[in-house]
Structure 1
Amino acid sequence: MRPDIVAIGAPAGGVESLTDLVGRLPENLSAAVLVVLHRSPFPDSYLPQTLRRVAHLRVVVPIEGGPLEIGACFVGPPDKLLTVGSGHRTHLLADGYYRGYTIDALFTSLAYSAGRRVIGVTLTGLLKDGRLGLRAIKEAGGTVVVEEPKEPEITEIHFGAFKSEIDFTGTVPAIADFICERVRSG
């Protein structure tokens, strides 16, 4: 089964990598793309507008219970956790206690609801949030992708034993190519 859901998580400092990656995905990508970013839940979010400037995909802020759509990029709202439930419908959870686990919440929900249909991608960061979700995706038969760290020593220190569970590590352009190839050929 070919992957048709791409989940991308980034820390607050990952906006540049996130924008670069989303801007490289073609409008005819045969997948739904879901994006979560660590950011404050209080100020207005400009992430959807920022991504719309570069995206070839349609950028959407999801509503509760909305269906995932091929060719759309769903951007998690700043005051809710974007997850996916049964029937591949978005489920927005109150943030509260899980503020630091935005990526894990999305990735874990996708592991349970879509399994091997998922490509989970983390950009920059040190895998503090995302590691559990990526592991769940891997265990469910999905694909795990991690942006290549800028500092070589970070790879060993922060990936450690997790390195063997990563299907692909590369730069943002290489990740975009990998996603397009996997979605196409699965």
Structure 2
Amino acid sequence: MAAMFRPDVVVIGASAGGVAALQIVLGALPATLPVPVLVVLHLPRDRSSRIAEVLAPYCTLALREAEDKQPLQAGTVTFAPPDYHLLVEDTQAIALSMDEPVLFSRPAIDPLFESAAAAFGTGVLAILLTGASSDGSDGVAAVRAAGGQAWLQCPEEAEASMMPASALQHAGADAVLPLELMCRRLKELFA
């Protein structure tokens, strides 16, 4: 089944331990990636994020921080800025939101995953990585309910197992993978 699935968008969520996990996952994406990638990493609200700069050496794709109403761009990794939820507005653009924090986080993973599921339906690949909250569980449920796929980092391998374990218990998954195997699967998916 995985071989026939071709996503139109990849959405990734991570929290505690996420920078190291993102180095590995983003590093596996080919320079010719034909879809946009949107990332929420739980960030402190009160200071600027340098996550795109930090991860740039590991990734062949363009990395940028999201701006409101920015067009979705294939081959580009877009990060939620501090203190804003990152949303998929429609299949063409993203939006930033100052809505209430979700599970004490803004940006939060659930709004990204849920809005991607609403916009892209069966075309979403959601990847939930390490983290110490249950953010992402409702989003994974929404993606799977819309016919998209959700891949979770193997909780035993994650630096903080709670987030992938919570999503697995709450919503199930299309794959539960150690990062090395997840990277191999991503390369095959876009080969």
User: Do these two structures clear the TM 0.5 threshold for a shared fold by scoring above it?
Assistant: yes
Match of 1:138 among 144, 161, 164: 144
On the 8 A contact 1:88/1:113 being kept in 2, the answer is no
* 2:105 corresponding residue in structure 1: 100
Match of 1:179 among 176, 186, 191: 186
**For residues 51-93 of structure 1, what are the alpha-carbon distances to aligned partners after superposition, in whole Å with 9 as ceiling and x for unaligned?**
1121111102121111111110011111211111124311000
Query: Is 1:125 the equivalent of 2:125?
Result: no
2 CA distance for matches of 1:39 and 1:158?
20
RMSD between aligned alpha carbons? 2.4
* 2:23 corresponding residue in structure 1: 19
* 2:58 corresponding residue in structure 1: 54
- SS of the residue 2:186 aligns to: helix
Q: Please tell me the residue identity of whatever aligns with 1:14.
A: G
Further displaced range: 34-43 or 92-101: 92-101
* Runs (5+) with no aligned partner, structure 1: none
* Runs (5+) with no aligned partner, structure 2: none
Normalised by the size of structure 1, how large is the TM-score?
0.87
1:25-174 equivalent positions in 2, closer than 5 A: 25-94=29-98, 96-98=100-102, 99-100=104-105, 102-125=108-131, 128-150=134-156, 158=166, 161-162=169-170, 165-174=172-181
Higher helix fraction (1 or 2): 1
On the 8 A contact 2:16/2:130 being kept in 1, the answer is no
Further displaced range: 129-138 or 172-181: 172-181
1 CA distance for matches of 2:58 and 2:22?
11
2 CA distance for matches of 1:95 and 1:60?
22
Q: Please tell me the residue identity of whatever aligns with 2:21.
A: S
Between Structure 1 and Structure 2, how many residues are aligned? Answer: 182
Are residues 131 and 142 of structure 1, via their aligned partners in 2, closer, same or farther at CA, if it must alter by over 3 Å? same
Further displaced range: 105-114 or 125-134: 125-134
